[in-house]
Structure 1
């Protein structure tokens, strides 16, 4: 989505999607050692082979760089991924805070999709950057990106071709992918469609195999943006079916909601994506010039809009379907899950895990600001596997918990109880899981003593 572009202007291009019968020769990803997030068949998987389905939203960071609390707020509502808008300097930015953005993602246990927005509508939008210019930006940020392949997906350029000569997309995208690989990037690359991302000419649908073949690592995921062109279930399912038939990975990198009958059929997107195990990233968290697409008013998670309530809390929505990346579960792979926090965490105990069906819990403060802080709790099983855990503590200085993720957290006065959710209760002997929360404090913010019980 272009910040200054109302997707309804694209409704004029809402032509019927025509199926293109093509003869495809599929090439498999080479059998080399996996580096971080990568493609296996039509799935995105982690380095340990665990399938990862992106469930998240877009955050317009480049225009609102001070809204860093958005990462924690998006996580608290259940997301496992955030697509972060960056600028190359051609139109917006330049975003020189990539390392900090990645840290925010990792501290909040989110997979980070980073995209250059300046390419939006190239060929039709005179100020837009080319994909080649976008690659030059990524090269300039390489030191912040290399080594982050477990946590970062690089979306080379947002909606990189407009409606003028969309056929140029194939060669431009192939060249961009090859230039990324030549310059040493081993990340999973996300590839946006032309036609302002909506591919109503079926250019990406028809030539995706050519782009796939251009990647020496066969490590791409194609991204369709669904707005007014996709206002019927048949338009959505036929597009999804085409990529499934080709055996190529696809996700919905942006989409809005049906606020009138001519707009995107978001119900079908959500249900079909869930049924097919496809990722989706809704547009967008807050700050749109067309505020009907905001999920939270004024970046306030307590002011969710109709769209925000729907995508986070509705059927097939984020809270019901998102699973945190296993890189953050403290089990595998062995790469550290987070960067060092800006505020020194509470020192964990050095005693060994307890024997038998038991658990321990350690408490850390990852960040602190006037009146608020972000906490993290790590639960570790004892010498036997466990199927569930409960952590309790009592705050000693009047602190309170306002939001939490990866655990069901309840409070009664100063007493807090946190119980595992469905995906992180079962831990192998010595295995660990983390949950986090946003809290309030005033005056003193000392660490409480934790108690952990296992089942």
Structure 2
């Protein structure tokens, strides 16, 4: 937690300042992630970057003293569909207790991950220096190994310090577009989106959900499955969402079709599982008394609600018990009192009111609960 919050804040501050280039996020503890903090929280940091143009870096020295530890750590990022490179490594096992560097390079290349060998210097350490006396033409034994790699790669364009995961015949084929998402469980502040899977020649590792606004996109969720929950939405607001698929090499699919979602007006509970009974209890010149009974026809309790309807003849609510009314013209919105806030599955609550009349006293013809239409009881 001590690494995640400031790292996320730094990434978001850079993006807010207009930096759109790739950001390389180093692991804590001099890049070595002794306690696995970056490994545990990389997803939350990655998802906090609205551009997704971010890569993590791990320094592999004596903490990763076996080939199994190397493979396990690198595979944890590949399996999660998160970009990673070995940002620093070097030195023989017999001197520093590190796993064999050929093993590191071979494992990274097999997983199509990049690595940066330490170091491109000339006189700091005869074991770790890649060159002799700052002369790039005079490679040290370690420089020869890093340049040629465990698989004998000798391309002259390859720098001694860098292996890019896309070299050596890596995966360049993007996944197909996922199916157009569908929405369910829409509340005042969230929605669940589901889609049919994309296909890929190697395999899809993750999906990114984006909010589409005109010609711009904002990533709002990521998932390793074909569904995701989008949270933090505003009540009574229309949104458009789409989905991208990604593979382990970072190739991204075409965008799916878009789905339109309108959140409910309030309460955080899906509507459409209710019926409403409305009746006039009594009437007198210029006024009347009414009663509204809300029935929960769903299988889960409604905890917090907003009931909306429109008077057809200009009636006004003057007092109410069991709830609080707000009115704009003929449109009325009712929120519950503390003792009517929860409606058990199969249960009901009743609110009563007195109202004013200026003409007729027709009953409302439509009701919504938390944005979902109710049937007439």
Shorter-chain TM-score category? 0.3 to 0.5
Where is the strand percentage greater, Structure 1 or Structure 2?
Answer: 2
Q: Which has the higher contact order (CA 8 A, sep 6+)?
A: 1
The structure with the largest alpha-carbon Rg is 2
TM-score (norm 2): 0.40
Where is the helix percentage greater, Structure 1 or Structure 2?
Answer: 1
